[in-house]
Amino acid sequence: FAVMGGDGGRQPAVVFDDIGGQEVAKNELREALEFIRDLDGIRRLGIRPLKGILLAGPPGTGKTLLAKAAARFTDSAFVAASGSEFVEMYVGVGAQRIRQLFKQARSLARKQGKASAIVFIDEIEVLGGKRGQNAGHLEYDQTLNELLVQMDGLATDDEVRVLLIAATNRADMLDPALLRPGRFDRQVQVDLPDKTGRLQILGLHARNKPLAADVDLATVAADTFGFSGAHLESLVNEAAIAALRDGAQEISACHLKGAIDKVILGEKLDRLPGA
Ligand code: ATP
């Protein structure tokens, strides 16, 4: 069972400062995570442990980055999977994979000598959709039931504390059982970046790239309304490719301008029916 992320379970190197904009999301997430860090306080005050955090928002806005930064912030082991990995033809396989994922998180934490682990599930709506709506898809229901069982079993006095962070761009599709107290208690909205956010993200991705004197990233940020962080990353990369193609030593304003159009066009083409 392959774990997404490709880092073989090593500590993700992402820190909150590597994520541009998203100040509200970062603050809410950090505040929620203080919980895991202050175990003594939680016990003293008899607080119900935080089991799940849901990151909701459009694709490419940094939800995966936030989950990785959360692992780093809490010094937790990190395992990741995508909701679609749990959908199988055979009844029971998805549920078994869920159990394996949590088990794997615990054993990785033990191996790394960490007191906590974060399980990240992207596209949670694929397995956590409303039950009973997938007529004949008993498998979905069993998988979701197993996820609920695993979440209910998470306790603060476990040898390894496990926190589930899930991401979705369709929070409205989730089974209400997932949103009940004691499950995903916290929902953090991760929206498309505003102009300031876009400028920060552009700055992060242009950090190691030579920019010509005519480049003003604030103008680029102003011209990229509606772009996600992933779009902006791709924009800077496309501009660098254009500069290389021109035989230029630096990325100039025209390369960035061309790259904006390219990203917009790519997006439009992707949305054509049948594409
Ligand atoms: P999806 O819902 O499609 O899984 P996501 O919200 O999890 O998307 P990420 O995988 O975190 O998005 O982001 C994809 C890439 O886009 C990142 O690896 C990064 O290069 C860039 N990116 C997205 N958001 C940001 C951001 N806020 N700051 C810096 N880079 C970002």
ipTM for this model: 0.96
Contact by Cβ (8 Å): 235, 223: no
**pLDDT for 79-107, tens place per residue?**
999 998 888 767 788 899 999 999 999 99
- Asked whether 116 lines ligand 1 (CB < 6 A), one says no
C-alpha–C-alpha distance, residues 44 and 189, integer Å: 30
Tell me, using a 6 A CB cutoff, whether residue 122 lines ligand 1: yes
Tally of CB atoms within 10 A around 236: 24
DSSP state of 73: H
Ligand 1 touching residue 21 (CB < 6 A)? yes
Task: Pick the atom of ligand 1 nearest to 122's CA.
Answer: 4
Q: Nearest residue CA, atom 9 of ligand 1?
A: 62
Mean pLDDT of the region 104-119: 95
- What's the Cα-to-Cα distance from 164 to each of 21, 76, 83, 90, 208, rounded to whole Å? 24, 12, 13, 25, 33
The answer, yes or no, to whether any atom of ligand 1 lies below 6 A from the CB of 61, is yes
Q: Distance from the CA of 65 to the center of ligand 1, in angstroms? A: 6
Share of the chain above pLDDT 70, in %: 88
60 close to ligand 1 (CB < 6 Angstrom): yes
pLDDT confidence band for 269 (50 / 70 / 90): low
State whether the beta carbon of 168 lies less than 6 angstroms from ligand 1.
no
Distances from the Cα of 134 to the Cα of 131, 138, 142, 158, 237, angstroms: 7, 8, 12, 35, 40
The backbone region for 228, taken as left when phi is positive above 0, alpha when psi lies in -120 to 50, beta otherwise, is beta
Q: Please tell me the residue having the least CA distance from ligand 1 atom 1.
A: 59
Residues 110 and 68: beta-carbon distance below 8 Å: no
pTM assigned to the model: 0.89
Higher per-residue pLDDT: 205 or 270: 205
Contact 188, 29 (CB under 8 A): yes
Name the residue with the closest Cα to ligand 1, atom 22.
Answer: 229
Mean pLDDT of the chain: 87
Nearest Cα to Cα of residue 188 among 65, 74, 9:
65
CA dihedral over 119, 125, 127, 129, signed as positive or negative: positive
Ligand 1 site, residue 67, Cβ cutoff 6 A: no
Question: Phi/psi of residue 47, each to 5°?
Answer: -80, 140
* Ligand 1 neighbourhood includes 123 CB (under 6 angstroms): no
Among left, alpha and beta (phi > 0; psi -120 to 50; other), residue 148 is alpha
Q: Measure 230 CA to ligand 1 centroid, in angstroms.
A: 5
Q: Is 230 close to ligand 1, i.e. is its CB under 6 Å away?
A: yes
